[in-house]
Amino acid sequence: AARAGLAEGDELRGKAPLALRGVVALAGITDLAAYAAATGCGSAVPGLLGGPPGEHPERLRRSSPIAMLPLGVPAVLVTAEHDPIVPSEQAMSFAAAAVAAGDRVELRAGP
């Protein structure tokens, strides 16, 4: 959703990013730096970035949703308190940061 906010010519932006009206994230990984871990699904983050987040701050800024705020479109975040893969803190911290940046966010947390 934040691709349209990237600079013209940025290969991640694309030639004509879709004009989205909103985002729904189900157990979304909204903060790549916080999610990066040596084990589990978080171990995919260095592969995505080409190395640990601390070694690639520009890539992190251009790919981690929390770093790209404000999105400029409403977001609905669906999370579970006891999700063993994506901690609910991902959604909660993103929601707080997005609201602080001026975005509209709805957080739906289940058991």
Express as a percent the part of the chain with pLDDT over 90: 67
Q: Which of 8, 110, 26, 12 is nearest to 62 (CA)?
A: 12
Measure the CA–CA gap between 61 and 18, rounded to whole angstroms. Answer: 20
pLDDT, mean of residues 51-78: 93
Measure the CA–CA gap between 70 and 65, rounded to whole angstroms. Answer: 9
Residue 23: predicted pLDDT: 95
Whether 35 and 63 have beta carbons less than 8 Å apart is answered as: no
- Strands 105-110 and 75-80: what pairing? parallel
- Per-residue pLDDT band at 15 (split at 50, 70, 90): confident
- Per-residue pLDDT band at 49 (split at 50, 70, 90): very high
The angle at the Cα of 71, spanning 7 to 32, to the nearest 5 degrees, equals: 85
Residue 38 pLDDT > 70: no
Residue 96: predicted pLDDT: 98
Rg for the chain (alpha carbons), in Å? 14
Tokens for 68?
């790209």
What predicted TM-score, i.e. pTM, was given to this entire model?
0.85
